[in-house]
Each structure stands twice: as structure tokens, then as C-alpha cells.
Structure 1
Amino acid sequence: MWIVASDFDRTLSHESDSFVIRNDVVEKINNFCSIYKFFVVTGREERYMRILAPGLRPTGWVLENGALLLLGDRKVVNAPETWFETRKIVGEKLTSHGISHSFGEVIIYVNSWNGSLDLGPGVRIERNRQDTMILPDNVNKGTGLMRAIQEMKLSGKVIAVGDAENDESLFRVAHIKVAVANAIPSIKRIADIVMQKEDGEGVVELLDMILTGHFPENIDVN
């Protein structure tokens, strides 16, 4: 079974569309899910995904950079029980240093911050282009996806699709690594396949390759 796991911003959606996913991409993914499995793996919160992708029906959602999973009618927090007390302390520290931030259901978002700050044990900072996310240690897109696959008792070959730094952890758990054409250079360098098209059109291009069995012959999927 193929299990495709795709980032959202600048991978499934276009910045020129204010990151609202296009209807043809939605239709392709929803049809793909009738045969294979498809996960959206993103740093975004659930409330924003309801606005940006209202018609999308993937196999599952891996949100907040792997910290929150939506699997059918189940919501799974992929973080240690101690995290929320730690998160409160981290938020207070950010406030005391004048660093503007907001809380997701699980993680902390800090926009346009490239500074450094000792946030204490059990805390990790992850950057994605201009954005910064503060998460529990060992929580990322890759561990979130693996938790989702385990929770749903799935098995198969994982194809990861991304464009930026926080997709590297997703690539580490994948059998095949795919970069859309607009991906940053470091992601393209480690990808097995770089699509010819950008954003959602690149993902549609990939899904068509899967459905027709037209993977490049030099890709090892064993």
C-alpha cells in the first residue's frame, strides 16, 4: 500500500492563493484516498485547516508539526503529559523577554523570530522559513506521522512530500522523498524526486505517477 504524506503550505497550497487549496488538488487527493492513503502533515492548527481546506478529506491530519493528530473522529495529542506545564513556563519566559507568541492546542508559535533563548529541558525549537515553532523534544512531523500510522494500524511504503526545513523529519521516516519544484535547495538536495511543477500541481503530478505506476526506475522502494 502507498501512504503519501504531504506538507500543506507551499506544497499542497499556493501562497498566491493565500494558502487556500485549489479545487482540482482537493478532488485529486479525495479520489486518491479511495485507493491508497494520504496524510496532510503541517505545522498549522486545526482551526486554520478548516478554513484553508474545507473540502479536503485525507486519511488523516498530522497538525502542529506532529503534535496533534486527527484520525477519523479521534483526536490524539502526540506529546508527553508533562508538556502543558512546561509549555506554560515557556510562555511566561517568552513574555518576560518581550517575544510575541501564540498557543496552538499543543505547541507554541513565534512569528519572525530568529533569536536564541534557553527554554529549559524537554523543549525544542523548530524553524520553517520565517516561522518558529516550540515543541516537546522528539515531536516533529516524522514522529507524528509514524504515530498516526501506528494508531490507524496501517502498513505500506511512505512517500513524503515537502518544501522546507521542517519537512526534513518527514523525509527521515519515508521510503521515498519528494520535493515540489518550489522547494528550498536543501530539500531538493536530499529528495529522491523533484517534481517539475510547483505546490499543489506538483503533488497532483506525483499522485498521477503513483496511480499509473510511473516511478523513475532508479528509485528503490524496497
Structure 2
Amino acid sequence: MWIVASDFDRTISDEKDAFRVREEVRDKINEFSKYWGFFVVTGRERRFMEALAPGLKPTGWVLENGCLILAGDREILNVPPGWFSLRQRVITELKGRGIKFSSGEAILYLSDVLEDDLPRIDGVNFERNRNDVMVLPSGIDKGSGLLRALKEMGLNGTIIAVGDGENDASLFRVAQFRVAVKNAVDPLKSMADLVLDREDGLGVVKLLDMILSGDFLKNVKVH
């Protein structure tokens, strides 16, 4: 079984479209999900997915960088015991340092903050993605979130991870094949088995067409 795990911003969606999924991308993912597995794996909150991806029906969602899983009709908070008490400590620290943040259902989001300004608290990880920082429980990331989602849904298969940014590296580490869209950052491209010649959602459409036609393995690097 093929299981595609794809980032959202600048992978499924295009910044030029204000990150709203194009109809042709949505339709291709929905078609693919009838035959194989497709997971949207993103740092985004659920409320943004509802606004930016109406009608998108993947196999499952791994949100907030692995901390929230939507598997069918089940919602799973993928965080360790005591996380919300720990998160409150982070909030107190951030407020004391005058650092602005927003809260998801499980994680915190920061923008344009310097590394030296971040508090150091055991059990807390600050994961950077371009100009943004996500405040997560240690040991939780996109990769671990995807594996938890697959376990919860009883799915096994060959994982193809596709992304564009630094925080997709953890997704690459749990995949058998790693794919970067054309607009990906160079460090991620260097990890990839395949770099697509199209950007964002159009790259994802090309990838899914390769898989559906049986041509995917002809295009990846041989290890």
C-alpha cells in the first residue's frame, strides 16, 4: 500500500493563492485517497484547514506538527501527560519576556523571534520553520505524529513523504521515499530521493499521477 504524507503550506497549497488549495489539487488528492492512503501533515491548526481546504478529504490529518490527529471520526491529542501544565509555564515565560504568541489546541506559535530570546524548559522543543517557531512537547514532531496516526488507523504501507521546509525533515526520516517540491529549501532537497520540477500543489499532483500510473519508482534515486 502506498501512503503519501504531505506537508500543507507551500507543498499542497501555494502562497500566491493565500494558501487556499486549488480545486485541481483538491480533486486529485480526493481521487488518490480512494485507492491509497493520503495524510495531510502540517503545523497548521484545524481552524485554518477548515478555511483553506474546504472539500479536501484525505485519509487522515496530522495537525499542529504531530500533536493533533484526526483519524476518521476520532480526534487524538498526541501529547504526553502533563503537557498542558508545561505549556502554561512556557506561556508565563513568554509573557514575561514580552514575546507575542498564539495558541493552538495543543501547541504555541511564535513569529520573528530570535533563538536567544526563547526560554529553555525541559520537555519543551522549539521547532523552527522558515520565520516561524512552534512550541511542542519534546519527542513529538510530524514524523512521530504520522506513525501514531497510522497505528491508530491500523494502516501499513510504503510511506512517501513530500514537503518543502525544515520541519518536514522529521517526516522524511520515517518515510521510505522522500520527495521535495521544486520550491523546497535546499537542505530538504538534499535529503530527497526525488525533487519535482513543479512547485507546491502542482508538484503534488504530478507526484500522485506518477504513483497512480505506476511510474513513481522509475523516477526516484536508487539507494
- Give the TM-score normalised by the residue count of structure 2: 0.97
The Cα offsets for residues 108-141 of structure 1, whole Å up to 9 and x where unpaired, read as 1001113333331100000000110010000000
Q: What percent of counterpart residues are identical? A: 56
Q: How does 1:16-55 map to 2 (within 5 A)?
A: 16-55=16-55
Match of 1:129 in 2: 130
CA RMSD of aligned residues (A): 1.3
**How many residues end up aligned between the 2 structures?**
222
Cα contact 2:14–2:201 (8 A) shared by 1? yes
Give the Cα–Cα distance (whole angstroms) in 2 for the partners of residues 217 and 57 of structure 1.
Answer: 28
Cα contact 1:4–1:39 (8 A) shared by 2? yes
Distance change (3 Å), C-alpha of 1:51 and 1:173: same
1:90 aligns with 2:85: no
Match of 1:57 in 2: 57
How far 1:218 moved relative to its partner? 6.9
How far 1:220 moved relative to its partner? 7.1
Q: How does 1:72-83 map to 2 (within 5 A)?
A: 72-83=72-83
Match of 1:187 in 2: 188
Cα contact 2:130–2:165 (8 A) shared by 1? yes
Q: How does 1:7-22 map to 2 (within 5 A)?
A: 7-22=7-22
Give the Cα–Cα distance (whole angstroms) in 2 for the partners of residues 119 and 28 of structure 1.
Answer: 43
The Cα offsets for residues 76-133 of structure 1, whole Å up to 9 and x where unpaired, read as 0010121000000100000000000011000010011133333311000000001100
Give the Cα–Cα distance (whole angstroms) in 2 for the partners of residues 40 and 98 of structure 1.
Answer: 33
Cα contact 1:41–1:63 (8 A) shared by 2? yes
The Cα offsets for residues 187-222 of structure 1, whole Å up to 9 and x where unpaired, read as 111100000100000000000000011124374799
Cα contact 2:21–2:53 (8 A) shared by 1? yes
Q: Partner of 2:19: helix, strand, or coil?
A: coil
Give the Cα–Cα distance (whole angstroms) in 2 for the partners of residues 217 and 204 of structure 1.
Answer: 17
Q: How does 1:63-74 map to 2 (within 5 A)?
A: 63-74=63-74
Q: Which ranges of structure 2 fall in alignment gaps of 5 or more residues?
A: none
Match of 2:171 in 1: 170
Give the partner amino acid of 2:170.
S
1:111 aligns with 2:120: no
Q: Partner of 1:34: helix, strand, or coil?
A: coil
Match of 2:121 in 1: 120
Which has the larger displacement, 111-120 or 61-70?
Answer: 111-120
Give the Cα–Cα distance (whole angstroms) in 2 for the partners of residues 82 and 106 of structure 1.
Answer: 12
Cα contact 1:123–1:137 (8 A) shared by 2? yes
Distance change (3 Å), C-alpha of 1:81 and 1:155: same
- Give the TM-score normalised by the residue count of structure 1: 0.97
How far 1:185 moved relative to its partner? 0.6
Cα contact 1:176–1:221 (8 A) shared by 2? no
Q: Partner of 1:217: helix, strand, or coil?
A: helix
Cα contact 2:143–2:170 (8 A) shared by 1? yes
